[in-house]
């Protein structure tokens, strides 16, 4: 039986991060993953991450995945693919099926980083081909280059539903509606806003009544629900679609932990059945650790930090490092983790209506209910200013853990401060040079450059643009407002691309001067 210092089940963000930390400290590490490619969810994630530099903010998920793989390989981590761990015993022996063969391995320490599985909901016709999970749609698009469908309805307004909806638009799909039984949007407002300005309507307090079709989806009927989630007669609406995407939550894949005899708890706030762990991610069974979504559903940024802590703790438990180093590294990583768990979307605030921001500003209810900030709401936020000169307009209106814009500006025009969830503000005493780095760095695509007096009667607006084909200079189309409504004619002045922008193109359009604070998207038709 082959033996390792550290066996990791799952080559996703937490598993790879743990492997790197353990290997750095001299441990012999093996990672088993059932997929044909390591990296877990990271290689599906083409959007930029939130957080700060230490959280890999403004870097796209698939780039982070490759960075982790390269570092693990350089440290001698053994990654075994097409390897399904089918059993685990309390004495830290794992049973792995590789192809048709079954192998037994012994780990002095073990990390379970198996992630989570997509939840499903049942409705009339839910088993029809064309009803798929949002993660499956993401896999089809971003790993295999296949569009899941032509006309898609998304169920679920959490971050997964919002992010995948936008990626569906990028892939050339028409997202006919985004539906959620909850009365408010569950994910980041910046994600909802970029979907809304593309013209996708939100139907909150609605859910799917039935999927239509015989051998595949041809349509869907939704209806409004009351406070008890019962359908309200007469509110039915039909959409012609060929795909229904479900983004209705995740459940930790904790079966191996149960098999090993780890104490578990049913914790709805963490996604369901999760292991009881100490501060270092160690379960009730000494030497068996858990990290990432299997220990509680969070973002990939948090999973990487949890993995790092577990890897360092495993090294300490076997004597590769002392307790002093463990404590030092734990404090550093715990601080980074706590930063991600602040703000309006902190774990303790889930499901709560936050009526005011941390700064005491009234929350945009229009954003929560319709996906975009209303005209009479936008000016109360510190990132939204007026100036005759070119300047940033920052439509980030929720306290989320993110600050790349502050670091990106070479002239320090943008101020967040040391508190990562503070709303970004524009320092009007600093002169913007129009470089656009702030626009490109914003993970939520919530920053615009505005030149109110471009020429007589016209203003220029620079927007983030991540669709193909790219418009050409001189092209004439239309400007759309935050709700996705066509509001004016627009002319493309330039489209800037640069390695520094990391695939976020900057489109500058000329619009009538009275549209300068309204136009936020461009379409050619």
Residue 472 CA to residue 239 CA, distance in Å, equals 34
Residue 523 CA to residue 525 CA, distance in Å, equals 6
Alpha-carbon distance values, 304 to 19, 103, 159, 314, 332 (Å) = 11, 28, 18, 15, 13
Alpha-carbon distance values, 58 to 22, 79, 416, 441 (Å) = 26, 27, 16, 6
Tens digit of each residue's pLDDT, the chain (525 residues): 899 999 999 999 999 999 999 999 999 999 999 988 888 889 899 999 999 888 888 999 999 999 999 999 999 999 999 999 999 988 899 999 998 899 999 999 999 999 999 999 999 999 999 999 999 999 999 999 999 999 999 999 999 999 999 999 999 999 999 999 999 999 999 999 999 999 999 999 999 999 999 999 999 999 999 999 999 999 999 999 999 999 999 999 999 999 999 999 999 888 999 999 999 999 999 999 999 999 999 999 999 999 999 999 999 999 999 999 999 999 999 999 999 999 999 888 888 899 999 999 999 999 999 999 999 999 999 999 999 899 999 999 999 999 999 999 999 999 999 899 999 999 988 999 999 999 999 999 999 999 999 999 999 999 999 999 999 999 999 999 999 999 999 999 999 999 999 999 999 999 999 999 999 999 997
Q: Which of 200, 205, 258, 201 is nearest to 227 (CA)?
A: 205
Query: How many helices (H) and strands (E) in the chain?
Result: 12, 28
Domains of the chain: 2-117+250-340 (3.50.50.60), 120-246 (3.50.50.60), 374-523 (no CATH)
DSSP H helical ranges for 371-475:
375-378, 404-408, 437-441
The count of residues in the chain is: 525
Which contiguous run of DSSP H or E holds residue 336?
helix 323-340
Q: Which of 52, 64, 109, 78 is nearest to 340 (CA)?
A: 52
Alpha-carbon distance values, 13 to 20, 75, 129, 157, 319 (Å) = 11, 16, 31, 24, 25
Whole-model pTM over 0.85? yes
Q: Say what the pLDDT of residue 54 is.
A: 83
Contact 453, 388 (CB under 8 A): yes
Q: Say what the pLDDT of residue 373 is.
A: 98
Q: Say what the pLDDT of residue 89 is.
A: 87
Q: Say what the pLDDT of residue 411 is.
A: 94
Q: Which of 15, 253, 12 is nearest to 117 (CA)?
A: 253
Residue 523 token pair: 């379409």
Residue 420 CA to residue 427 CA, distance in Å, equals 17
Alpha-carbon distance values, 446 to 196, 256, 427, 464 (Å) = 12, 41, 17, 8
């Amino acid at each position: 039986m082959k033996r390792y210092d550290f066996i990791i089940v799952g080559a996703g963000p937490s598993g790879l991060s743990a492997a790197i930390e353990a290997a750095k400290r001299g441990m012999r590490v093996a990672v088993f993953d059932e997929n044909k490619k390591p990296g877990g969810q990271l290689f599906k994630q083409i959007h930029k991450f939130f957080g700060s530099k230490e959280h890999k903010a403004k870097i796209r998920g698939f780039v982070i995945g490759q960075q982790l793989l390269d570092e693990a390989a350089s440290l001698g981590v053994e990654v075994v693919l097409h390897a399904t761990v089918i059993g685990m015993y309390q004495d830290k022996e794992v049973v792995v099926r590789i192809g048709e063969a079954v192998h037994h391995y012994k780990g002095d320490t073990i990390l379970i980083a198996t992630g989570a599985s997509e939840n499903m909901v049942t409705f009339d016709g839910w088993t029809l081909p064309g009803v798929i999970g949002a993660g499956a749609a993401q896999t089809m698009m971003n790993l295999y280059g296949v569009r899941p469908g032509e006309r898609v309805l998304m169920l679920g307004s959490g971050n997964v539903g919002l992010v995948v909806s936008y990626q569906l638009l990028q892939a050339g799909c028409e997202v006919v509606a985004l539906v959620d039984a909850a009365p408010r949007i569950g994910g980041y407002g910046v994600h909802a806003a970029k979907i809304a300005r593309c013209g996708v309507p939100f139907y909150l307090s609605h859910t799917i009544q039935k999927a239509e079709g015989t051998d595949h989806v041809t349509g869907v009927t939704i209806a409004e629900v009351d406070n008890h989630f019962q359908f309200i007669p007469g509110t039915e609406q039909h959409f012609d679609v060929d795909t229904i995407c479900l983004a209705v939550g995740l459940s930790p894949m904790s079966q191996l932990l149960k098999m090993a005899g780890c104490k578990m708890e049913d914790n709805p706030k963490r996604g369901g059945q999760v292991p009881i762990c100490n501060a270092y991610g160690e379960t009730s069974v000494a030497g068996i650790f858990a990290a990432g979504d299997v220990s509680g559903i969070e973002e990939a940024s948090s999973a990487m930090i949890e993995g790092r802590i577990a890897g360092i703790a495993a090294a300490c438990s076997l004597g590769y490092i002392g307790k002093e180093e463990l404590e030092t590294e734990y404090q550093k990583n715990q601080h980074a983790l706590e930063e991600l768990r602040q703000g309006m979307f902190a774990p303790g605030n889930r499901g709560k209506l936050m009526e005011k921001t941390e700064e005491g500003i009234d929350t945009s209810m229009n954003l929560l209910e319709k996906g975009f900030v209303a005209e009479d709401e936008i000016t109360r936020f510190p990132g939204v200013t007026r100036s005759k000169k070119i300047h940033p307009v920052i439509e980030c209106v929720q306290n989320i853990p993110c600050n790349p814009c502050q670091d990106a500006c070479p002239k320090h025009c943008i101020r967040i401060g040391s508190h990562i969830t503070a709303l970004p503000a524009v320092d009007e005493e600093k002169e913007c040079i129009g470089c656009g780095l702030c626009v490109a760095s914003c993970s939520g695509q919530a920053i615009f450059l505005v030149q109110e007096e471009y020429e007589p009667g016209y203003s220029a607006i620079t927007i983030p643009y991540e669709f193909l084909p790219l418009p050409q200079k001189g092209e004439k189309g239309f400007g759309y407002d935050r709700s996705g409504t066509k509001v004016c004619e627009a002319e493309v002045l330039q489209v800037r691309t640069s390695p520094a922008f990391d695939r976020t193109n900057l489109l500058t359009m000329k619009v009538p001067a009275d549209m300068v604070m309204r136009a936020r998207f461009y379409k050619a038709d």
